[in-house]
Amino acid sequence: MDQPSTGLDSNVKTFCSQNLLVILGFSFILAVIALIAVGLTQNKPLQENVKYGIVLDAGSSHTSLYIYKWSAEKENNTGVVHQIEECKVKGPGISKYGKKIQEIDTYLTECMQRAKYVIPKSQHQETPVYLGATAGMRLLRMESEYLAEQVLAAMAMSLNAYPFNFQGAKIITGQEEGAYGWITINYLLGKFTQKMSWFPLVSTGRNSKETFGALDLGGASTQITFVPQDRSFESPANFLQFRLYGTDYSVYTHSFLCYGKDQALLQKLAKDIQETSNGTLQDPCFHPGFEKKMNISDLYNNPCTKRFEKTLPFNWFKIQGTGNYKQCQQSILGIFNTSYCPYTQCSFNGIFLPPLQGKFGAFSAFYFVMNFLNLTLNKVTSQEIAIDTMEEFCSKPWAELKRTFGGVKEKYLSEYCFSGAYILSLLMHGYHFKEDNWSNIHFMGKIRGSDVGWTLGYMLNLTNMIPAEEPPSTPLSHSTYVFLMVLFSLILVTVLIIGFIAFHKPSYFWKEVV
């Protein structure tokens, strides 16, 4: 019997091996192409599922409504919230309605109708509405708890009539107001979320020392909030503990009731009027030529001015402006008690204040007043410039000022001299900002289109938008995922081709090496 040819067997094996390799390689390439196709077509972001929230800031002088919008899918397990609307309610703060409750029903109509228009009708029932009342209502509660409760009840009844998910109306504490403002600033600046780098094991990192402090000034109160360098237990009541995104924060905060700019002015007037005998007050905090009459009962019918109350021989008094910044500042300092401090360091009125740390965002009236005075620009980094600006501004005659700023309401225009002088006095003598750290104060109106204030932080807290713990891993974005899929697939194809050539024509590589 003839033996099979060994040459023929060898050729058959080579042929089969080559075809098998070609089939496997072709199949692998098809699989990689399919993988890329799936990545491109199937891993697209889901259609945006947005949510809305409404917060009403019921301040001492006015009420503002803010509408926020965010995607239901969280980024880095943290809600990404944007302000899309602001509506200022016409009329004074709600604390002024204590004896005219019946008017509250129409008080919010215009802004709530605006909210119904801005938010899609299909989202109305699931949109939460929060009302937070601040220092004006805290003062009303001091005068009459009954009236304060009546106002809140009337506000709740009015808001319940709208097709939203009303979550309640409450008077927030001064500490809450300060803390929520601090959360708002640092949330908008991205201080809480950990920005993911390209490779999962490398991150940008952050720590509590990088957060901004918050300086808030309203009509009836002012707040200072920041993370001190060293935790101090001299005054535990002034510290709040937060755990946000896996980081612990020991936050100092204090709210000074009666030291908002409106109540501070009333305190100063109540103090200064005692030094007059004829009912005419020569006031350096108002412009030369300015005159105004005030009722004594309106001045003293206030919890903030009770300590200055005194029987006077007249029922009305007249303010005559003299326009002198330095004298105005000296008059303002009279409402701060800096002679007593039971701690290593105080702000004023015996309140503990740790050493200032880091940068601060100053907002609300801090920003509005300083912006009017052109003192919010980045180049304005010295106290000397601020003082020179105030000296020049306060000395301008009232008639000239009205001609220059004809579009500004006279009440606001007449008080900018006092308000600017008060802000400088509060920052320098109350909070102890010096020339060397004055540039750490950043006057802020908006950050990324959202107003800086306590309202956003309030809603973030109530909706649990910021997690306490950091997620175990951060998912890649859609674009990054697709890019990596394409990159690694191309690498696999290249390796396959090289391997195929190396297996089929090894002599080619040996020649290259030689």
How confident is the model over 152-179, as pLDDT tens digits? 999 999 999 999 999 999 999 999 999 9
Choose, from 48, 110, 177, 470, the residue flagged as catalytic. 177
- Residues 86-108: pLDDT tens digits? 999 999 999 999 989 999 989 99
Is residue 177 part of the annotated active site? The answer reads: yes
CA dihedral over 54, 57, 62, 64, signed as positive or negative: negative
| pLDDT attached to residue 73 | 62
Q: Please report the pLDDT score of residue 433 as a whole number.
A: 96
- Enumerate the β-bridge partners of residue 166: 129
Domain boundaries, the chain: 50-173, 207-444, 482-514
List phi, psi (to 5°) of 64: -125, 140
Dihedral angle sign, alpha carbons of residues 111, 370, 409, 174: positive
Q: How confident is the model at residue 483 (pLDDT cuts 50, 70, 90)?
A: low
pLDDT at 71 (0 to 100) = 83
Confidence at residue 161, expressed as pLDDT on a 0 to 100 scale: 95
Domain 50-173 and domain 207-444, same fold? Reply is yes
Alpha helices (runs of H) in 335-477, residue ranges in sequence order: 365-372, 383-394, 398-404, 410-425, 454-462
pLDDT in tens, 444-476: 999 999 999 999 999 998 888 777 766 555 455
Residue 466: predicted pLDDT:
77
Integer Rg of the chain from CA: 33
Residue ranges of E strands in 38-179: 50-58, 63-71, 81-88, 128-133, 165-171
Distance CA 351, CA 338 (A): 10
CA distance 438 to 423: 13
Sheet holding 81-88, edge to edge: 81-88, 63-71, 50-58, 128-133, 165-171
How much is the mean pLDDT over the chain?
A: 85
pLDDT (0 to 100) of residue 198: 37
Instruction: Name the token pair of 207.
Output: 């720590």
Which numeric CATH code is attached to 207-444?
Answer: 3.30.420.150
**Continuous segment of H or E residues that includes residue 241:** strand 239-244
Identity of residue 133: A
Homologous superfamily assigned to 50-173: ATPase, nucleotide binding domain (3.30.420.40)
User: Which residues lie closer than 8 Å to 405 by C-beta, 6 or more apart?
Assistant: 413
pLDDT surpassing 50 at residue 481 = yes
Least Cα distance to 212 among 185, 231, 190 occurs for 185
